[in-house]
C-alpha cells in the first residue's frame, strides 16, 4: 500500500511541456499509484534482493560495486545512500529514461488501464519534480522511447536462468517440442523473462503474467533493443483467459530484423516470424553459411518499411508458413504474406516453400517444424532453387508447389 500522505504530493501534479503547462488530475495519479507495486516496476530495471522489509541492489544512476540502492515496498519509495537519488516510481522512471512527468504518467496509466487526460494550465503551475536534463521533448521528440539497453537485456536474461517455478515453465517451453531451442540458442539470443500486466475481465483485478522476451536490435540505434514478449505460452486451453494476448510488443514498429548476416552473403532467406528466424539463423551460424537470415517483427500480415527491405542482400527468398487454414477473408495468411512481400521487392524476391513431406497434415507448417523433423540447410537450399533436396523431399514437387502459390499473385 502507498503512504497516506500521497494526497499532499499530488495536489500540484503539473509540468511544463513544449511551451505549455499541463496538469494531470491528481485523482488519476492517486489511482495509478494505488495500482503500482514499486518493487515490481523497479525489478524490470534493477536486480533487487530482499533484505528484511526492504529490497536492495546496485544503483542504476551511478557506478558502484556494493549495493546502496534501497526500495521500500511499504512506503513505495526508493533511496540510494551512495548518490542520494530518491523518490517514487514516477520519479524513478523520469530519471532513468529522461522522460517528462506527463509521459511517465500516461505510460503508467496505459499499463494499468487507467485513462489519463491533460488540460492546459496557467504558466504559474508548479512542477512536482525537476525536469530531466536534456529532455527528449526539448529535442522535439514526443513519442515515448520503449527501447531498452544492453544492461536491461542482460538482467532479463539472467532472470530467465534463475531457479524458480516460472523459469522452469519458460525454459521447459523453450527447450521442449514447442520451440526446440537448446541452452546454447537461449544464451546466443539473450532471451529473457519479463512480466506483463493484464486486467482480469471478471474480477477487475490486475494480474502479472510472465513471458519470454525477445530483444531485437534497433537498426538505427546501436546498443538499443525493442522488447517483444511471448506471454505465458505454456498456459494453454481452458487455463488461458481470453483477455491474455499471445504477444506484448508495445513500442515495437514493423521492422526488419537481420538475425544473421555473414560477410560475403549472396542472398537472404526471410522467415515469417522471430522463432523461425532465430532457429534457421542459428543453424546457418553454426555451419558458417554464406546466406543472410531475416524476419519481420510484424509477422506476415504487414510489410515492413521498403527502405529496410531494399537494404537486404537479394535475391530474397521467403519461407513463410504452409498449410495455413483460410482466414476470415478467405485467404491463406502465409501465402498471401509472401506474395505481398515479393510484390514490394519488384523482381528481387522469390516465394520459396518450407521443406515439407508431401503427405504432411500439420496446419501452419513452418521453418521450426521443418527443422524439428530433420530437414537441414541442403533442403532449404533446394527450396531456394539450389541443389536437389535431401530427406526424401522432391525438388520437382517443390517447384510445382511454388508455382501453385505464386500463380495469380499479381491479383
**DSSP string across 232-247:** -TT--GGGS-TTS-SE
Looking at residue 117, its pLDDT comes to 63
Looking at residue 326, its pLDDT comes to 55
Looking at residue 317, its pLDDT comes to 94
Q: 148-149 and 247-248 as β-strands: parallel, antiparallel, unpaired?
A: unpaired
Categorize the per-residue pLDDT at 407 as very low, low, confident or very high, splitting at 50, 70 and 90: very low
C-alpha cell at 237: 486451453
Residue 90 scores a pLDDT above 80: yes
Return the CATH architecture of domain 6-118: Alpha-Beta Complex (3.90)
* Domain 256-406 in the same topology as domain 6-118: no
Query: What is the arithmetic mean of pLDDT over 6-12?
Result: 33
Looking at residue 389, its pLDDT comes to 32
Separation of alpha carbons 75 and 79, rounded Å: 11
The size of the chain, in residues, is 411
Query: What is the arithmetic mean of pLDDT over 254-264?
Result: 95
62, 82 Cβ separation under 8 angstroms: yes
User: Which residue has 542482400 as its cell numbers?
Assistant: 313
User: Which residue has 524476419 as its cell numbers?
Assistant: 295
Separation of alpha carbons 397 and 72, rounded Å: 65
Looking at residue 171, its pLDDT comes to 97
Separation of alpha carbons 39 and 54, rounded Å: 9
User: Which residue has 500521497 as its cell numbers?
Assistant: 6
List, in sequence order, every residue forming a beta bridge with 119; answer none if it has no partner: 23
* Domain at 256-406, CATH from 3.40.1360, 3.30.479, 1.10.4160, 3.30.1370: 3.40.1360
Helix/strand/coil percentages in the chain, nearest 5 = 30, 20, 45
Q: What does the domain layout of the chain look like in residue ranges? A: 6-118, 149-248, 256-406
More confidently predicted of 299 and 118: 299
Separation of alpha carbons 115 and 106, rounded Å: 8
Helix count (H) and strand count (E) of the chain?
A: 14, 18
Categorize the per-residue pLDDT at 325 as very low, low, confident or very high, splitting at 50, 70 and 90: low
Query: What is the arithmetic mean of pLDDT over 308-323?
Result: 90
Q: What is the pTM of this model?
A: 0.62
More confidently predicted of 114 and 72: 72
Q: What is the pLDDT of residues 177-235, one digit of tens each?
A: 999 999 999 999 999 999 998 888 888 888 889 999 999 999 889 999 999 999 999 99
Task: State residue 91 phi and psi, 5-degree precision.
Answer: -65, -35
Q: What is the pLDDT of residues 32-69, one digit of tens each?
A: 888 888 998 888 888 888 888 899 998 888 777 788 89
Residue 340 scores a pLDDT above 90: no
C-alpha cell at 7: 494526497
Separation of alpha carbons 243 and 230, rounded Å: 14
Task: State residue 293 phi and psi, 5-degree precision.
Answer: -120, 130
Distances (CA, A) of 212 to 188, 190, 235, 370: 15, 11, 13, 23
- Residue whose C-alpha is closest to residue 318's, from 271, 371, 383, 266: 271
**Crossing angle between the packed helical segments 101-111 and 26-35, to the nearest 10 degrees:** 50
Distances (CA, A) of 68 to 89, 156, 374: 18, 21, 52
More confidently predicted of 348 and 286: 286
Categorize the per-residue pLDDT at 19 as very low, low, confident or very high, splitting at 50, 70 and 90: very low
Separation of alpha carbons 270 and 245, rounded Å: 25
Average pLDDT, the chain: 80
Three-state DSSP class for residue 160: helix
Residue 15 scores a pLDDT above 80: no
Looking at residue 17, its pLDDT comes to 37
CB count within 10 Å of CB 386 equals 15
Looking at residue 98, its pLDDT comes to 62
User: Which residue has 494480474 as its cell numbers?
Assistant: 207
Query: What is the arithmetic mean of pLDDT over 295-312?
Result: 86
Amino acid at each position: 500500500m502507498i503512504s497516506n500522505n500521497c494526497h499532499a504530493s499530488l495536489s500540484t501534479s503539473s509540468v511544463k511541456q513544449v511551451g505549455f503547462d499541463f496538469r494531470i488530475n491528481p485523482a488519476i495519479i492517486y489511482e495509478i499509484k494505488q495500482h503500482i507495486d514499486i518493487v515490481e516496476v523497479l525489478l524490470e530495471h534493477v536486480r533487487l534482493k530482499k533484505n528484511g522489509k526492504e529490497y536492495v541492489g546496485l544503483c542504476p544512476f551511478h557506478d558502484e560495486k556494493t549495493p546502496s540502492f534501497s526500495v521500500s515496498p511499504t512506503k513505495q519509495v526508493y533511496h540510494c545512500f551512495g548518490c542520494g537519488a530518491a523518490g517514487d516510481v514516477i520519479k524513478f522512471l523520469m530519471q532513468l529514461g529522461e522522460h517528462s512527468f506527463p509521459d511517465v504518467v500516461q505510460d503508467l496509466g496505459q499499463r494499468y488501464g487507467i485513462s489519463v487526460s491533460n488540460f492546459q494550465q496557467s504558466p504559474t503551475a508548479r512542477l512536482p519534480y525537476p525536469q530531466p536534463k536534456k529532455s527528449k521533448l526539448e529535442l522535439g521528440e514526443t513519442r515515448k522511447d520503449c527501447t531498452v539497453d544492453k544492461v536491461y537485456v542482460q538482467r532479463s536474461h539472467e532472470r530467465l536462468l534463475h531457479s524458480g517455478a516460472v523459469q522452469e515453465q519458460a525454459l521447459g517451453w523453450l527447450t521442449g517440442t514447442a520451440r526446440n531451442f537448446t541452452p546454447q540458442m537461449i544464451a546466443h539470443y539473450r532471451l529473457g523473462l519479463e512480466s506483463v500486466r493484464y486486467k482480469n475481465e471478471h474480477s477487475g483485478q490486475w494480474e502479472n503474467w510472465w513471458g519470454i522476451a525477445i530483444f531485437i536490435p534497433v537498426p538505427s540505434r546501436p546498443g538499443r533493443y525493442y522488447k517483444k514478449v511471448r506471454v505465458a505460452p505454456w498456459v494453454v486451453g481452458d487455463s488461458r483467459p481470453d483477455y491474455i494476448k499471445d504477444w506484448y510488443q508495445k513500442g515495437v514498429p514493423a521492422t526488419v530484423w537481420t538475425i544473421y548476416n555473414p560477410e560475403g552473403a549472396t542472398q537472404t532467406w526471410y522467415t515469417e516470424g522471430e522463432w523461425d528466424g532465430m532457429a534457421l539463423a542459428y543453424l546457418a551460424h553454426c555451419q558458417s553459411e554464406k546466406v543472410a537470415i531475416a524476419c519481420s517483427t510484424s509477422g506476415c500480415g504487414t510489410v515492413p518499411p521498403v527502405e529496410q527491405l531494399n537494404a537486404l542482400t537479394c535475391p530474397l527468398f521467403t519461407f513463410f508458413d504452409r498449410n495455413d487454414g483460410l482466414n476470415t477473408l478467405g485467404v491463406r495468411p502465409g501465402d498471401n504474406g509472401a506474395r505481398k512481400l515479393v510484390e514490394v521487392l519488384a523482381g528481387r524476391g522469390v516465394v520459396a516453400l518450407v521443406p515439407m513431406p508431401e503427405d504432411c497434415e500439420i496446419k501452419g507448417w513452418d521453418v521450426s517444424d521443418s527443422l524439428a523433423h530433420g530437414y537441414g540447410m541442403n533442403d532449404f537450399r533446394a527450396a531456394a532453387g539450389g541443389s536437389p533436396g535431401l530427406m526424401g523431399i522432391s525438388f520437382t514437387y517443390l517447384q510445382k508447389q511454388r508455382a501453385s502459390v505464386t500463380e495469380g499473385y499479381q491479383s
